[in-house]
Amino acid sequence: MKAVILMLGMMAVTMTDAHAFGSARSSAVDAAPTPVPTTPVVVTPPNTDVGTGGLRVVINSAKNFNDTQAAHLEASRDLLERIVNSEEFKQRVLHFSYQGQETFVQNNGLSNLQVYNKILEAAEQLPSPTEANRVIDLSVQLYTSSYFGRNVVGYTSPDTPTIYMNTYFYNGATPGESASNMMHEWMHKLGFDHDYNSTARRPYSVPYAIGDIVDQMGN
Ligand SMILES: [Zn+2]
């Protein structure tokens, strides 16, 4: 019986480690046959601070990317993953202020800590609610706008998981700028919104503010 508990403990450690690192993660967690306990095993949650780390950024699909654009996408994904797992990101979110108060605007009634925890849980709500899996799931597609739409960095809509990114901006962007763009649009997938027009409060909305934090840390 002791051996079974030890093995389960080791598996938990392996899985934690797999989540804690960037793109070089193992998919071999399933390799060992799972022991079947004959009596219920009580698993005590690890008594560790799970406030940072363990969040993955995964590109589930990328359409219209050439090799250069795909390399930039991977650099942006990797950077975003390192930023959102950092203590600095956590502190910036927890202490984000609007008019002297530690709060976001258009925050869906959530405190800064609750917003941060929403990010960590990564349970996308749009286009349909998903489980909290600690994976920032991204589907991205490049498009080339008309000349008049060239100042639109990117956009998405509630009825699709896809984040559309404009080549006018994308092709000249730094990884930090693209990471910021993807994070802004992904915050919409969590269910946060902002004023459509350029209001005074819009920069303090959750999507804009979180996107700006990523931009500042990534550039
Ligand atoms: Zn937006």
Whether the pLDDT of residue 97 is over 90: the answer is yes
pLDDT tens figures, 128-163: 999 999 999 999 999 999 999 998 999 999 999 999
Where are the extended beta strands (E) located within the chain?
56-63, 135-143, 154-155, 162-166
Residue 87 CA to ligand 1 center (angstroms) comes to 25
Residue 185 CA to ligand 1 center (angstroms) comes to 6
Residue 57 CA to ligand 1 center (angstroms) comes to 19
Residue 52 CA to ligand 1 center (angstroms) comes to 25
**Cross-strand bridge partners of residue 162:** 139
H-only helix segments in 31-101:
67-84, 87-94
Residue 126 CA to ligand 1 center (angstroms) comes to 14
The separation between the first and the last C-alpha atoms of the chain, rounded to the nearest angstrom, is 52
pTM of the entire predicted model: 0.77
pLDDT averaged over every residue in the chain: 84
Q: Which CATH number fits domain 56-218: 2.30.30, 3.80.30, 3.40.50, 3.40.390?
A: 3.40.390
Would you state the pLDDT for residue 101? 97
Tokens of 87: 């203590």
Would you state the pLDDT for residue 9? 40
Residue 141 CA to ligand 1 center (angstroms) comes to 16
Cβ count within 10 A of residue 113: 13
The segment with the largest mean pLDDT, out of 11-15, 21-25, 44-48, 55-59, is 55-59
Burial tier of 212 (Cβ tally within 10 Å: 0-12, 13-18, 19+): middle
Residue 156 CA to ligand 1 center (angstroms) comes to 8
Whether the pLDDT of residue 25 is over 70: the answer is no
Residue 179 CA to ligand 1 center (angstroms) comes to 14
Q: Which residues surround ligand 1, an ion (CB under 5 A)?
A: 207
| Residue-range domain boundaries for the chain | 1-48, 56-218
Residue 49 CA to ligand 1 center (angstroms) comes to 31
For residue 29, the SS3 value is helix
- Cβ neighbours of residue 194 closer than 8 Å, sequence gap 6 or more: 105, 106, 202, 205, 206, 207, 208
DSSP 145: -
pLDDT tens figures, 69-95: 999 999 999 999 999 999 999 999 999
- Cβ neighbours of residue 175 closer than 8 Å, sequence gap 6 or more: 72, 75, 76, 78, 79, 218
